[in-house]
Amino acid sequence: MVFSTLNESNLHNSLKILYQEIYEGNVEVEQDGHVYDIVTKNGNVIEIQTKNLAKLLPKILDTIEKGHNVKLVHPIPLINRIELKDEDGTLISKRKSPKKGCIYDIFRELTGIYTLISNPHFSLEVVEIEMTEERVRTTEPVQSKNGRRRFRRNWLKTGKRLDAIINTRRFSKPKDYLKLLPPLTEPFCAKDMKTAFDKMPDIPKSTIDSHLIIWVLYHAGLIEQTEIKGRTKYYKFLTEPTKPTES
């Protein structure tokens, strides 16, 4: 289902307003030593995080320990447009980015919060969106604001704008994450998983990292290693999740 977008200039703020309306909550609430994006009328906490989910791990763990359920909302842009303006705000160009997101991108983010996957007081909500990345032309090549550019460029990123919500996926139990996997015969290895994904025509293969997915599932306690043949590790699914393994 495609929803029309909110007319907001900031992706984070747009999602915060949307979820505040859905759950009839209060925004920017100071409570228990934290400032939360949203606290619902039932006292549950909703946090919006567009990237680097691991940064919120200590805050989420502390919030759960203090008796609250936490919903973490994370957008993944399936379609990304790039809008370039000059310093006066005049539109120079608008184009679709060749980069496409995919639900399986979430596994890279899960490497930093895998300890939460089996926690009954935590849920992850992935919002698949259309987004516009806003840029402004500079008079000369510059470094990015975060200093991560390998080469200077003649534009700066100024924001991200929500254009539409395409789909929402909720993960509240370990089996919700396992539903993302293709059919696998046990025991299986990373190569078996890749082969199974290759048989799923609707999935962009460049986004799938079977080794990364297995790493997350293993450390989250959803699979266990059964044997090693040569250098290849084989795994099986667990009927009940075990305690997360330290990385």
The pLDDT tens digits for 79-129 are: 999 999 988 889 999 999 988 889 999 999 999 999 999 999 999 999 999
Asked if 164 and 194 touch (Cβ cutoff 8 Å), the reply is no
Q: What is the mean pLDDT of the chain?
A: 91
Map residue 64 onto helix, strand or coil: helix
pLDDT on residue 76: 96
pTM recorded for the entire structure? 0.89
Residues recorded for the chain: 247
Is it the case that residue 147 has pLDDT exceeding 80? no
Is it the case that residue 6 has pLDDT exceeding 50? no
Asked if 190 and 212 touch (Cβ cutoff 8 Å), the reply is no
Name the amino acid, one letter, at 96: K
Of the pLDDT bands very low, low, confident and very high (cuts 50, 70, 90), residue 8 is very low
> 216: closest CA among 245, 173, 183, 187?
245
Of the pLDDT bands very low, low, confident and very high (cuts 50, 70, 90), residue 242 is confident
Residue labelled with tokens 């330290």 = 246
pLDDT on residue 140: 85
CA distance 175 to 241: 10
Residues ≥6 apart with Cβ < 8 Å to 94:
81, 82, 83, 84, 132
CA distance 60 to 74: 14
Is it the case that residue 7 has pLDDT exceeding 50? no
